[in-house]
Amino acid sequence: MKKYVIGIFALALALGFTAFTHIPKSPKPTVTDYYYQFSGMQTQLDRKTSTKYINPTTTAPNGITCPSGSVNQCYLHVQLTGTAPTNPNFSGWTFDANGFPLTGTGFSSNIKKP
């Protein structure tokens, strides 16, 4: 029994030390707001075309310049991790009857001029 005491003691110490070891959590990815300017015609088809949304910026648009009317798209607001692609990825997105994005990865809102 004496020859096992040191081994059992070492095992107990090892278990004790690992039980209280802090394992750092991986940091949550940073989510950034991006605003894509709408450059297409105010049609259902153009609103559904991702290449019509250009110039992603992290600055919210101020003094929106686009045609008046609640059916006119000006900007698309998305929340993404990492660097914004040149155009939003509409893969798996849904759209309303007028072609405005409704849901999708990173979708936040449509910015229209009232």
Instruction: Give the pLDDT of residue 64.
Output: 60
Domain locations in the chain as residue ranges:
31-112
**Integer Cα distance of 52 and 40 in angstroms:** 5
What's this model's pTM, rounded to 2 decimal places?
0.71
DSSP 3-15: HHHHHHHHHHHHH
Question: Which secondary-structure segment (H or E) carries 108?
Answer: strand 107-112
22 pLDDT band (50/70/90 cuts)?
A: confident
**Integer Cα distance of 72 and 7 in angstroms:** 76
101 pLDDT band (50/70/90 cuts)?
A: very high
Based on its alpha-carbon atoms, the radius of gyration of the chain, rounded to whole angstroms, reads: 26
What does the pLDDT look like over 50-96, one tens digit per residue? 999 999 999 888 766 666 666 788 889 999 988 889 999 999 999 99
Choose among 100, 106, 81: nearest CA to 38.
100
